[in-house]
A and B are shown apart, each in its own frame.
Chain A
Amino acid sequence: MANLIELRNIKKIFKKDAEQELLVLDNVSFSLKEGEILAIVGRSGSGKSTLLRIIAGLSKPSAGQALYQNEPITKPVPGISLVFQDFALMPWLTVLQNVELGLEALGVPRKERRQRALKAIDTIGLDGFESAFPKELSGGMQQRVGIARALVVEPEVLLMDEPFSSLDVLTADHLRSDLLDLWSDEKKKNNGILLVSHSIEEAILLADRIVVFGSNPGHVQAIVKVEIPHPRDETSPEFRKLVDRIYTLMTTEEKIIGKGKKEIDLGYRLPDAPISQLIGLIELIAEEQETDQAVDLPKIADELMLDIDDLLSLTEVLDILHLAKEAEGDIKLTEAGLQFEKADILLRKKIFATHLLMYVPLVRHIYNILNASHNQRVSKKHILTDLEEYLSKDDAQRVLRIIIEWGRYAELFAYDDSSEELNLENPE
């Protein structure tokens, strides 16, 4: 089968300033074949949305090539249309006008435009809503408009950027199956869908192949074929096996990079992990661990309805802090983790503080600076400058915010928002 989209050694670098650069995508190569549904799963920061923008012609790769029907993509091409996570509908246009918009831009005559738009609206089950404005519709209906708008221009390739993640479970389920029905329609046979997803289950449910993305920088870690016939049953053993396999792929990756041991440096891009969620997770693992030896991550994700991104962020931090060990899609509390779980609030803070100092270089760095400074304060800007040697501006901000939360909880340091200073104060 011919390739609709072909990516060759795509590399994307964001320039932060004259000197510093941030590698977001590295050496990404894969292709989307005719009639195929391809899903990309990966953690946040794996650059999957950036990749989608490159394919859509909204942003240019720093090196490598994205080809559409063997032609390099340099600007948005008519055959590729995009469905957005948050719908991106024009609030001042009716459903019909929104759907007609793309045709209008193509200069399709009025009568034909109307006809085609109405047809697209019909197929996606929006008939009756033509005259409604987006804000009158529920989220699920709005995304239907987003899909109708993308389909009406009869694209060869449909790019979908986490299209179901702002919808509730029930609505998302329903829309997913409708989309599948629509796609299995005879005449769409040769078109392809490229779906960026935040949910492993969703990817398996829809895709023919799944591209697993690794992060820091984003790269293709593995490509998994899904050979379960449609309609796929989420509870079937083969489905679950595949879920487990992808989980394993996504969690073992760090191991290879860290050579078996999780040693991180000052500029490590710590993921978002609010303290209350960390503690909640430790308690949950402890509870599960009473019956099982190791705890299955997919099971936890399911139970908590967390998407992988959030869950893996949490487990990664537990792993870094040596409070839990993750391996091959399982997780287990360490000795320290078990002690933490049993401890009262005060002791928990102590354990947390010790582990932070031992295993998170950034915390140690801040703590040392504070203790060395004569007035025991340091400006946030100072730390940010240090961090920006490794991270983008936004990421540095985010990481520091997380660190401050942890530091506060552990009572290692405090932060004064009005003077933007970190300090060692602790009001008694």
Chain B
Amino acid sequence: MATSDREHGRRAPTLRPDLVALTEWIAPGERVLDLGCGDGVLLRHLIDTKGVVGYGIENDPARIVACIERGINVIQSDLDEGLADLQDGHFDHVIMSQALQAMHNTQGILQEMLRVGHEAIVSFPNFAFWKHRKSILEGHMPVSESLPHQWFNTPNVRFFTVADFTTLCGLLDIEVREWRGFDDQGRPVQEDLNFLAALAIARIGRRA
């Protein structure tokens, strides 16, 4: 599901900066659901460092086996079909790391995340990163660390920016409580995320 997820193989991988950043938002012992959990690296990290009760949802057979080998609770499911088996408010945090851009039912899954979780954390490649803008100006679709595929083979189906995501949240009565951004070297971005961040992370919740 996650499209720029390069973390395969058995060796202990280095966590992507966005995963390290979102760990700060998780309190010890929380109930966490990771949508599109890949091979379980993030959940393993959250279990080891925060003692969370964690579950991952994944639909790729090889990644499910990888999660099982890693000792991660993984549940096979197609996220585009929603989270109907899960009760309202069961999780403290629902995480979707670099998977939203590959989903068709964008609005539905955001609503579902905030139905089963008190808060959600969404990370995604920012299409408006300045190098991507430059690429478009030069006449080509951007290909980069955060958007690693060519236009003809990308699994991404939704292309959006930090600004677009903010607008959508407004429409869905969702508030963005905190942003983090990283440039294409993985360095934190302090200002103008929509221009300077290759990768953005939002902590979101229901507007009171």
- Tell me, yes or no, whether A binds B: no
Question: A-side interface residues toward B, CB under 8 Å?
Answer: none
